[in-house]
Structure 1
């Protein structure tokens, strides 16, 4: 716990403070809805995979520790990555329909923008400044996005949108200038082994999490597909044979399974041999 608190930047402390101040009242206001959400979460179909996910991540961290990569200084960033990225992928696993999902996720994590964000979060202002800046920028960003969408309905919002965009640009320039100043005056503090690990950690966690999410997505796809088959056909023999042939043909190939799922035609099942039909799907 000490390592986590010690490694928090002033920006992270500021975000934590403001998030707490916002979340607590929201929890109180929406406590009934929260109970409903929690009751859904504690369904065994979610709870068991989530438990396995936690175990998998603990194993991943242990593996990185055996490689002498992971240490206690990375605990905070590991928890943050799991809490936001890891859990986000978990609850969107139904959107993983092919291997391309992982390619895109990896590509996004390797963008130059990620390096820029890392450096920007590395050099922060004082705690008081961050406590003032964070809510202001957040509020302006929300208003800017809202005005951008409202432009479609009301063209008069264009001036407001432009003004908010200008404010964000000014804040961006100030932060960028501070960033450049910090890099020039304190570049030694940036280029260290520990910071390199911090930069690489999210990429490693993402890469090592792919097998878990892949097989979870595979199971989810099979389950939803088979439920659809149960609804499509009344004949148990057809359902059994169809499921059998899908498993034989797709195996653990998520791309293939998704393709069969998308192109399965009920009429073809009755008109053709099931085995030949499933094989013919391209």
Structure 2
């Protein structure tokens, strides 16, 4: 366990535990197995593999350039992988789906920069012991899910208002 904590912090370990538990639980239910089958078909489709190739090429070239410029080294590999998976892939997907004009990119950068600065500050500087992190991860996941669902429908405006992070965005 100590070797694992040398590489990963408690939040990352807790997140990994919940992901493993979710996958195991999903494999033992019929709905979970059907979901995994449909996801595998989508993830490995020809169009998605083409997008992965573009994404990984751009991401690899960026890291390679930063390495040779002296701004990146191997100690940043874990953070780079996490950033690529949880920030860059969703941002890449969102951009492909919604980019219609040049103003979209300026708005996207502003919106993400404000929120990312606050989230990165909290996540990188405050971690708790493993037991607390194991409790925080599903609560944060649940709140994120409630926010995502509530922001889609006008009937849930009260819930949406409660879960909005606009107060945090105004601080940035």
Q: For the residues of structure 2 that align with 1:137 and 1:86, how far apart are their CA atoms?
A: 20
TM-score norm. by structure 1 comes to: 0.45
Q: Of 95, 98, 104, which residue of structure 2 is paired with 1:95?
A: 98
Contact 1:64–1:70 (Cα < 8 Å) also in 2:
yes
List aligned pairs for 1:138-153, cutoff 5 A: 138-139=141-142, 141=143, 145=147, 152=155
Cα distance change of structure 1 residues 51 and 10 upon mapping to structure 2, 3 Å threshold: same
Cα distance change of structure 1 residues 66 and 142 upon mapping to structure 2, 3 Å threshold: closer
SS of the counterpart of 1:110? helix
State the partner residue of 1:116.
Answer: 118
State the partner residue of 2:78.
Answer: 76
State the partner residue of 1:36.
Answer: 38
Which consecutive residues of structure 1, in runs of 5 or more, have no partner in the other structure? Answer: 169-282
Q: Determine if the alignment matches structure 1 residue 9 to structure 2 residue 12.
A: no
**Larger of the two Rg values belongs to structure:** 1
SS of the counterpart of 2:48? helix
Q: How many residues in Structure 1 have an aligned counterpart in Structure 2?
A: 153
State the partner residue of 1:25.
Answer: 25
Once the 2 structures are TM-superposed, how far is the Cα of residue 67 of structure 1 from its aligned partner? Answer: 0.9
Q: Superposition RMSD on alpha carbons, in Å?
A: 3.4
Q: Of 44, 56, 59, which residue of structure 2 is paired with 1:57?
A: 59
TM-score norm. by structure 2 comes to: 0.69
Question: 1:212-263: CA deviations, max 9, x gaps?
Answer: xxxxxxxxxxxxxxxxxxxxxxxxxxxxxxxxxxxxxxxxxxxxxxxxxxxx
Which consecutive residues of structure 2, in runs of 5 or more, have no partner in the other structure? Answer: 164-172
Higher relative contact order structure (alpha carbons within 8 Å, sequence separation ≥ 6): 2
